A and B are shown apart, each in its own frame.
Chain A
Amino acid sequence: MASLTRAITRLAVQTGRGAVRSIATTTPVSGHSDDIMEKWPADKFDNHFITYLNRPEIDGWEVRKALTELHDYDVIPDPKVVEAALRACRRVNDYALTIRFLEAIKIKCGSQKNRDAIYGYIVQQIKPVLDELGISTPEELGYDKPEFFIPQPEFWWEKRWYKDYGFDKLPNYQF
């Protein structure tokens, strides 16, 4: 009896589906296991970025796209990914982006304790690549401490800052 009911239901469902024809323009997502890149196994995640960054025809816009996406994820990049990113920066001749990327690793490390431990480890691991490409770390350039004071443009300014910083922000109401 139960199997008969099930068969009838299936028949009804099938005819119903035939009558109301699906007009989906996209293919349905089959599995939900691979959707979230953060839940990928580590080597697959790393290889995704490494293969993208190792493409010989990559341009500067795409390097920044890859680094921005890598920055979006809640991960600290593996030294292998860092090496690939530095080589990609070398290929597009953007030296400033390498320093910026090394600083981004510091951001992703989070707390100062993590920053000391993990950032130091990554720099130590990628040392051969840094030497090969001639890249200085932010520490070697003295960027681990503030070099300039940079006032917030949308906030209260001292009078003399308008002169010192080249009237970047125009003075508003004057007494």
Chain B
Amino acid sequence: MQLSLSFFLWTPHVSCSSRKTRMLARQLMLPRMAVRALHTTTRATGGHHVEYWWGPEKGAGRELVGYGSCGDNIYQDRLDYWYPAIRFRKEDSTIAPIRAKESGDWKNLSAEEKKALYRYSFRQTLSEFEAPTGYWKVISAVVLSILGLATYYAVLLNVYVYPELPPTFQNEYKEAQVERALVLEKGNFLGAPTHYDYENKKWK
């Protein structure tokens, strides 16, 4: 185990250096023009395209206060990144006096002001985040109505669309078929005769 582990640990280094030497050898042996890559298309810059980046529009003038989950200035409530990148609301005349008060002693803040500070920074509390949404009712209503409609459709097909089953599906026909097999296919290694005891004339 120890040996194989060290083997796997060292393999990348070995292959890396050998790749380096091979690259070096190729550059020495081949003339520069021969290994030059031909580009028929313009090179894509890759990554984010500024014209498709809606960060500032989603931010909508709200203060950027952190990194968030991915560095974009969007507001997300996530259990794994609990501190969003921007505040939830813009600074306005309601919050400005409370912000001024916040820079002083926090003991002077009333409970309402503390809640307002929270609500201007964050959209929902943890208990609101974890509260059941009730959407299971909508989802189960949709799923059950689809199942019910499918059942009605199958019944409609069976009653009005499909023809009668052929008479060979009736039990008399099936039993007659087994009796015929017992007589005609005696000694076969498959089917009904293998389950029939011919000496005592009964099923095994």
**Interface residues in chain A, defined as those with a beta carbon under 8 Å from any beta carbon in chain B:** 20, 22-23, 60-61, 64-65, 67-68, 71-72, 90, 93-97, 99-100, 103-104, 106-107, 133-136, 138, 140-141, 143-152, 155-156
Residues of B within 8 A of A99 (CB): 114, 118, 125
Interface of A is mostly: loop
Q: How far is the CB of B12 from chain A (nearest CB, A)?
A: 12
B117 touches A103 (CB 8 A): no
**Interface segment, one of B30-38, B46-54, B99-107:** B99-107
**Interface segment, one of B78-86, B167-175, B190-198:** B78-86
B120 touches A156 (CB 8 A): no
Instruction: Point out the residue from A96, A140, A152 that lies within 8 Å of B135, measured CB to CB.
Output: A152
Residues of B within 8 A of A155 (CB): 133, 135
A61 touches B125 (CB 8 A): no
Bound CA–CA A97/B83 (angstroms): 8
A20 touches B17 (CB 8 A): yes
Bound CA–CA A144/B127 (angstroms): 6
Bound CA–CA A97/B123 (angstroms): 13
A60 touches B81 (CB 8 A): no
Which A-chain residue is minimally distant from B101 (CB atoms)?
A95
Residues of A within 8 A of B117 (CB): 95-96
With A64-B66, A95-B102, A133-B106 as contacts: A100 and B128 at CB distance below 8 Å: no
Total inter-chain residue pairs, C-beta < 8 Å: 106
Closest 7 CB pairs of A and B: A64-B66, A134-B107, A134-B106, A96-B121, A103-B126, A143-B125, A146-B128
Residues of A within 8 A of B106 (CB): 90, 95, 133-135
Bound CA–CA A18/B131 (angstroms): 65
B65 touches A64 (CB 8 A): yes
Which A-chain residue is minimally distant from B142 (CB atoms)?
A156
Instruction: Point out the residue from B17, B115, B123 that lies within 8 Å of A150, measured CB to CB.
Output: B123
With A20-B21, A95-B102, A134-B106 as contacts: A68 and B83 at CB distance below 8 Å: yes
B81 touches A71 (CB 8 A): yes
Supply 5 further A-B pairs (C-beta < 8 A) apart from A94-B65, A95-B114, A133-B106. Answer: A22-B17, A65-B66, A71-B82, A107-B126, A151-B133
Residues of B within 8 A of A65 (CB): 66-67
Give residues 62-106 of B contacting A (CB, 8 Å): 65-67, 79-83, 102-103, 105-106
A93 touches B125 (CB 8 A): no
Q: Name the residue in A96, A104, A140 with the highest tally of chain B Cβ atoms < 10 Å from its Cβ.
A: A96
Bound CA–CA A148/B128 (angstroms): 7
